[in-house]
A = this chain, B = another copy of it.
Amino acid sequence: MPPIKKYLLTPGPTEVPPEVLLEIAKPVIHHRTPEFSAELDRARQALKPLFGTREEVLILNSSGTGAMEAAVCNLLAPGEEAIFVNGGKFGERWGKILNAYGIVAHEIKVEWGHPVEPEMVEQFLARYPRSQAVFVQASETSTTAVHPVETIAEITRRRDVLLVVDGITSVGVFEQKMDEWGVDALVTGSQKALMLPPGLGFIALSERAWRKAAQISTPKFYFDLKRELKAQRDEHTTAYTPAVSLIRGLNKSLELIHRETLPAVFGRHRLMAEAVRAGARALGLELLAARAPAPGVTGILAPQGIDGTKVVRMMRDEMGVSVQGGQDHMKGKLIRIGHMGYVSPFEMLVAISALEIVLSRLGYRFPSGVGVAAVQNVLARSASI
């Protein structure tokens, strides 16, 4: 029998606060009413600080991938050139979407777990001067590494090239300064730091990106952002039927986020990252993304001779602690622990405890308790607990 209480410590979906679940469970309202318009306006307004923008944030009825596609098909035309950073599954996805739309896509291949070197972006822009945009992840969820978006933005701004950022595990996780840095498109989804079930995508465009979008006639309908901007900004509704319940839940979760305050949320994410990493290191384990680890998810390499897939399965099925394994060539080699959204720093004890028990059962040797003690030391030193 699985345990009665479960922990969802994957890098998304993340746990949803009971207050938000109850809001989502409220009777549905019609979406062409002043009541819904007020909900939509409120949510769009409250999202802006998470994006670090004064531009319009649009809410889409799709997953984050839909919002990624919206960025591509609204900003580029078939035959145009673009550069994308492929440092993991989601970087690879930029490439797939660009290819699907007939964009000539130049790939900066980055070793999994590493951040892209800004010089590489510089070099690619010099080598492919017709490139109209650079696509990158702020945080590559598959490898748990962050890319240096702020530095890349300096380069793209200087060359008047658009910078499109997948912020799916960065918006609401750590500070995003879209306007200040000069990011031209920032995308996210509902099931990460926004503490909601999956089902909503989000996108904000810079003024420069809107100007480019005005010239693009790539075939699209559902993801036509110009139509969506008109609906959401001017008509206070969505172009097509919105996921009303999730948007009401969104208002509740944004209320919780702003009540905690964004700096406190970001601080909590940093603290959890530090704690879980200290736990892993104390167990003699290595991180995949040691150089530039993401604040929202930590990737721990499975010890030599131990199957990471089995670790993840035992943690979930025997202990009710859901974490995630590696993908593609990291399958069986990586254990990813998510720590964003509705997660308490104390749950890092839970994650490392379950990991200790499973590793020990699988024959990996270490002094029992060193992992959780290391977590505890970080928590105890923190001023915010």
Q: Are A63 and B61 in contact (CB-based, < 8 A)?
A: yes
A21 beta carbon closer than 8 Å to chain B: yes
The segment out of A132-140, A153-161, A217-225, A295-303 that lies at the interface is A217-225
Taking CB atoms, residues of chain B closer than 8 Å to A356 are none
Q: Roughly how many angstroms separate A120 CA and B25 CA in the complex, as a whole number?
A: 46
Q: Are A219 and B78 in contact (CB-based, < 8 A)?
A: yes
Give 1 or 0 for each of A72-89: 1 = CB within 8 Å of chain B CB. 110000100000000000
Taking CB atoms, residues of chain B closer than 8 Å to A246 are 197, 199, 243
Choose among A26, A218, A241, A316 the residue with the greatest number of B CB atoms under 10 Å from its CB. Answer: A241
Give 1 or 0 for each of A6-21: 1 = CB within 8 Å of chain B CB. 1010101111100001
Q: Are B28 and A191 in contact (CB-based, < 8 A)?
A: yes
Given the known inter-chain contacts A8-B28, A22-B25, A219-B73, please indicate yes or no for A197 contacting B16, CB distance below 8 A.
no
Q: Roughly how many angstroms separate A61 CA and B220 CA in the complex, as a whole number?
A: 17
Q: Are A244 and B13 in contact (CB-based, < 8 A)?
A: yes
Q: Work out how many copies of this chain go into the complex.
A: 2
Residue of B30, B218, B224 touching A219 (CB-CB under 8 A): B218
A31 beta carbon closer than 8 Å to chain B: yes
Residue of B33, B199, B221 touching A199 (CB-CB under 8 A): B199
Q: Are B100 and A220 in contact (CB-based, < 8 A)?
A: yes
Taking CB atoms, residues of chain B closer than 8 Å to A222 are 62-63, 65-66, 69, 223
A311 beta carbon closer than 8 Å to chain B: no
Q: Are B65 and A240 in contact (CB-based, < 8 A)?
A: yes
Q: Are A100 and B221 in contact (CB-based, < 8 A)?
A: yes
Taking CB atoms, residues of chain B closer than 8 Å to A219 are 73, 78, 100-102, 218-219
Residues 220 to 252 of chain A near chain B (Cβ within 8 Å): 220-224, 240-246
Q: Which 4 A-B pairs have the closest CB atoms?
A: A25-B25, A199-B243, A197-B245, A65-B240
